[in-house]
Structures are given as structure tokens and as C-alpha cells.
Amino acid sequence: MRRFLVDRASIENVNVVQQEAELEPPPNVVNEFNPNEIVRDPVDVVKARLGTMRESGWNNFFADVQGFCVAKSILVPNMDDEIPVRGRSRAEGRTITNLHHYRAKIFYVAIDKICVEMDHRFSEGSNIILDCFSCLDPKNSFSKFDVDKLARLADIYHADFSYDDRGTIRDQLETYVLQVRRNASFSTCEDVQSLAMKMVQTEKHLVFPLVYKLIELALILPVSTASVERAFSAMKIIKSKLRNKINDVWFNDLMVCYTEREIFKSLDDIDIIRTFTAKKSRKGHLPRNFI
């Protein structure tokens, strides 16, 4: 019954996300992250619906659980029965009802964990970036285009834009949106990917290089995000209990070897050994026939 409660809470969350964001299964990595559709409002709506489900959704939820148990011939415990508090000694004599256990200890906890995970994945900074990138949406004659928000991206990605670029990007954005709205060829663009292709075809990427750089950032954002997630997963594998005192240089080298292992597999071991031994003189030398 506990597993059913947790699974149903996860299923309810997935259904809410799909209903509010209206996302289709992605055909490739580029379409997996669509800044035109994933914005702050759907995330806030999902959180609000989860909060409503936590406050007043227990009765309907428990009715579904009972229906499932009856269909599968599973005995449903009496919610008014007293049970010992788990994690406490029975000698203490502390008890709670089944209703409190399943509602407070499982149902509420499952929803709270989902909300915490959403806050982690959709932080305030991430929502701001997604909201700014959504202004590149070419649908309805660039109706979502906002110069202020797009210019703010240049400040956020200050390493990719010089001081002069940040000063001129606003004028370039205003000129860009006037031209693409008058150009009939851009009316067929449905997403950022097709917009980038159309800009290259019409050579607008040469006329508006700063705008095209923003579009490139929007397209590579899902790839960079996935790379960071894989890097953090690799950290948990590499920095184990036996390597808890590893220095930063060695740890960085191991991270590069692990994350780029496909590249390292293509390298010849003999070339690596020769390069390593030629770096500096060593006390011991490998046999000549080995290298």
C-alpha cells in the first residue's frame, strides 16, 4: 500500500506536468528542451496543484487506493486501528492510527519530496533564463519577442558577450525584430531550431551576429545542462570513500577521463605511455621493447 501511494503520487505529478506544459515526447536532444514552451507559469501552476492535492486531495486519493486494493483482492487495513510508531521502541507504548501513518508519513512526504525536487530542477535562476529564452519564439510573428529580457541574457552570459556587445545588442534586437516580421520567409518558423536554420539560409546570422549568438545559446543549453548532470553523477562514482582526500588536480584529471571516456578509448595506450615518460626524467624507465 505504501508503494502504491508513492507511485500514484509520482503518476499524478507526471500527469499534471504533461497537462500544463502540453509537451510531446521529444524526437531528439534539441527538441527535448523547448524554451518556447517550458516557462515559469506552468511550473507555478504545477506547484499550486500539488499544494491543492496535499491540502484537500487525500479523500479522493484514498478512494482510488481502496478501489485498487479491492480489484486486486488486497486487504485494506482499518484506518482507525492503532499501530506502534515505527522507529521507536515498543516498550515506550507510543502508537498512531493507520490513517495518520499513511496520510502524514507517506502521502504528505511523497508530495513534499516531489515539490522539493521541482524547486531543485526549476530554481529561480533557471526560471529567469527560461523565461528570457522563451522570447525567441518565432510563432505568431514573434509575438513573445521582448528586447529587455533578451538583452538581460547578454548580462547573464557576460563571458560570451563583451562590454561593447552588451551596449549594442539592444539596438540590434530592435532592428532584427522589425526585419524578420516584414520578411515572409520567417513566417514559417515554428521553433528556435527552424529559426536558426532560416537565419543561416537568409544570411541574417551575418547581419545580426549577436542575436544569432543568443539563438545558439538557446540551442546548446540542453546539451550543456545534460553535461553538467552527467559530471555530477561522475563525481559520486569517482570520489568514493577510499578517495575522500583526493586533491583537486588529480580529481579533475579523473573527471576528464571519465566524462570523455569515448575519446580516450580511441587513443593508443603506447602513445599515452610515451608521452607520460617523456614529460620528465624518472628513476625507473620502461623497457625499450615495451615503448
pLDDT at 31 over 50: no
CA pair distance 31, 213, nearest whole angstrom:
18
Domain ranges, ordered by start, for the chain: 42-122, 127-223
Residue 222: band (very low, low, confident or very high) from pLDDT cuts 50, 70, 90: confident
pLDDT value of residue 241: 75
Percentage, residues of the chain above pLDDT 90:
21
User: Which helix (H) or strand (E) element contains residue 219?
Assistant: helix 209-238
Mean pLDDT across 284-291: 58
Closest CA relative to residue 145, chosen from 184, 209, 189, 185: 189
Under 8 Å between Cβ of 194 and 36: no
Mean pLDDT, the chain, integer: 79
pLDDT value of residue 129: 83
Please state which of the ranges 42-46, 78-82, 252-256 shows the lowest mean pLDDT: 42-46
The residue with greater pLDDT, 124 or 198, is 198
What values do phi and psi take at 84, rounded to 5?
A: -65, 150
What values do phi and psi take at 153, rounded to 5?
A: -60, -35
35-67 as b/e: b if 16+ CB within 10 A: bbebbeebbeebbebbeebbeebbeebbeebee
182-212 pLDDT tens trace: 988 898 888 888 999 999 999 999 999 999 9
pLDDT at 115 over 90: no
Residue 284: band (very low, low, confident or very high) from pLDDT cuts 50, 70, 90: low
Mean pLDDT across 16-43: 44
